[in-house]
Structure 1
Amino acid sequence: MASRFILAISTSSGVAKVVATTEPHGSDSLGAGLFGFEIVDYKSQSAQLLPMIRQHLEQSGAQPAQCAAIAVDIGPGGFTSLRTACGIAQGLAVAWQVPAVPLTSFECMLPEQYSDQSFTLLIDARLNEIYTARIRRTSKGTEWLDPPHLLAMDEFQNIQGPAVCDANLYAQRANPGKGIEPGVVCATRLAQLAWQEFAAGRVVAPFDCQPLYVRDKVAQTTTERLALKHGVI
């Protein structure tokens, strides 16, 4: 029988990242990679994602019938990019009659070696703010010690390790300090965690896979931008 695979889609970082991996066995924590690709151009992601997934499926010889689940990074991240990823994940899951596995960008950024350890995750949210959460990854899934929330950028220097932050934030910290490490939202990590979730039965129906928006507002109004520019707010 042909190997099953999970298709993992992540767009929260602004770069669309797609990976397909087969089911892991034994000591192999990930399984074999069928294919992977990235779309850097933000504006073309919604138009290119589906055609490129189809192209890579054909080139790899993988069939939709072999798909076990669709994994998607639900954020937090860019408003439009999250909607694109979740919409494509929902559509494929319905068409292929498979469940969805939603995971957050925080989980996708925590390296495997830090499983069973409590870590603060920090992601640049723009607008002078940071998305942050504190989690521990265990055999029972993700334990949320501090749920996703916003942090003012000027509080970043007060963060103490152990913590993982995205490269943009890491570059902004004058003195990273002990226990503060750079990280990246990773589609391969998304696929790895998705297999763990799938094996444990922690899956959802396609339309239960929704973007995680931590911020109530995704952009400033023209009035707010002008006021900020002139020091009013």
Structure 2
Amino acid sequence: MTSRFLLAISTSSGVARVAAAAEPLSPLDLAGELFSFEITDYKSQSAQLLPLIQAHFQKVGLKSTECVAIAVDIGPGGFTSLRTACGVAQGLAVAWKVPTVPLSSFECMLPLPMPTRPVTVLMDARLNEIYAATLERLPCGTQWVQPPHLLPISILQTLEGEVVCDSQLFAQITLASDSVKQGEVSAVRLGQLAWQEFAAGRVAGAIDCQPLYVRDKVAQTTTERLALKHGVI
């Protein structure tokens, strides 16, 4: 019977993904999945998240008093999506009196087995740009070889080293390479990594669970869109 678990919430990809991760048997083990679900309808995510979490709790017999922390994918990603995940995580953390474990979308895309060397993770940022970061997981947590940043989409044809791309970018690669793999943001992976963070005491308060925005501007004004259309900027 599960005694303690961690709830993981990710909405950065536009699809809401939620998973409950059981406490690992040892520090070397990965957390087991108790349940997971997705909400693909973008417009209904904020309304469905809490009711579906409660429904899955009842289905598998979990209680909020057994939850030790709320893990949340803080991005980068869509402006509204990230606010939804962080807002729900903050509310549950306050209500259940537990800490949060904020992790990035890049970490949620790390493949299994966990790589022992740096991996470059790329995600579609739209506007002909890519969210990029190079990272590795060590006993002390995530080490950022290159912190989150933006790149032009043209770099897809000049990739080197071990790379993980989301499905949108992977479909645009014309030069095949064994070192470039397709991945996706995973709430299960989020939960597994969050248990490692929780065990090491790397947690945050609800107020510190804030979205990660790599792009300074998330939208253009009407004037800027028209100017761009007519080649002014």
Fold shared per TM-score above 0.5: yes
Which residue pairs with 1:184 in the alignment? 184
SS class of match (2:125): strand
| 1:225 CA displacement | 2.3
Which residue pairs with 2:214 in the alignment? 214
What is the identity percentage for the equivalent residue pairs of Structure 1 and Structure 2?
Answer: 64
Instruction: For residues 34-88 of structure 1, give each alpha carbon's deviation from its aligned partner in whole angstroms, at most 9, with x where no partner exists.
Output: 2211000111111111111111112221111000100000000000000000000
| 1:31 CA displacement | 3.4
152-161 or 12-21, larger mean C-alpha shift: 152-161
Task: Give the Cα–Cα distance (whole angstroms) in 1 for the partners of residues 162 and 37 of structure 2.
Answer: 31
Q: Taking structure 2 as the reference length, what is the TM-score of the superposition? A: 0.95
SS class of match (1:102): strand
Kept in 2: contact 1:170–1:176 (CA 8 A): no
Which residue pairs with 1:9 in the alignment? 9
| 1:123 CA displacement | 0.5
Which residue pairs with 2:140 in the alignment? 140
Task: Give the Cα–Cα distance (whole angstroms) in 2 for the partners of residues 88 and 220 of structure 1.
Answer: 27
| 1:2 CA displacement | 4.8
Task: Give the Cα–Cα distance (whole angstroms) in 2 for the partners of residues 176 and 105 of structure 1.
Answer: 24
29-38 or 206-215, larger mean C-alpha shift: 29-38
148-157 or 14-23, larger mean C-alpha shift: 148-157
Task: Give the Cα–Cα distance (whole angstroms) in 2 for the partners of residues 138 and 27 of structure 1.
Answer: 13
Cα RMSD of the aligned pairs, angstroms, is: 1.5
Task: Give the Cα–Cα distance (whole angstroms) in 1 for the partners of residues 220 and 153 of structure 2.
Answer: 17
| 1:27 CA displacement | 8.0
Q: Taking structure 1 as the reference length, what is the TM-score of the superposition? A: 0.95
Query: How many pairs does the alignment contain?
Result: 233
Q: Trace 1:1-233 onto structure 2 (pairs within 5 A).
A: 2-26=2-26, 29-233=29-233
Task: Give the Cα–Cα distance (whole angstroms) in 1 for the partners of residues 151 and 215 of structure 2.
Answer: 11
Unaligned runs of 5+ in 2: none
Unaligned runs of 5+ in 1: none
Kept in 1: contact 2:31–2:195 (CA 8 A): no
Task: Give the Cα–Cα distance (whole angstroms) in 2 for the partners of residues 95 and 20 of structure 1.
Answer: 17
26-35 or 66-75, larger mean C-alpha shift: 26-35
| 1:147 CA displacement | 0.6
Report the AA paired with residue 191 of structure 1.
G
| 1:222 CA displacement | 2.0
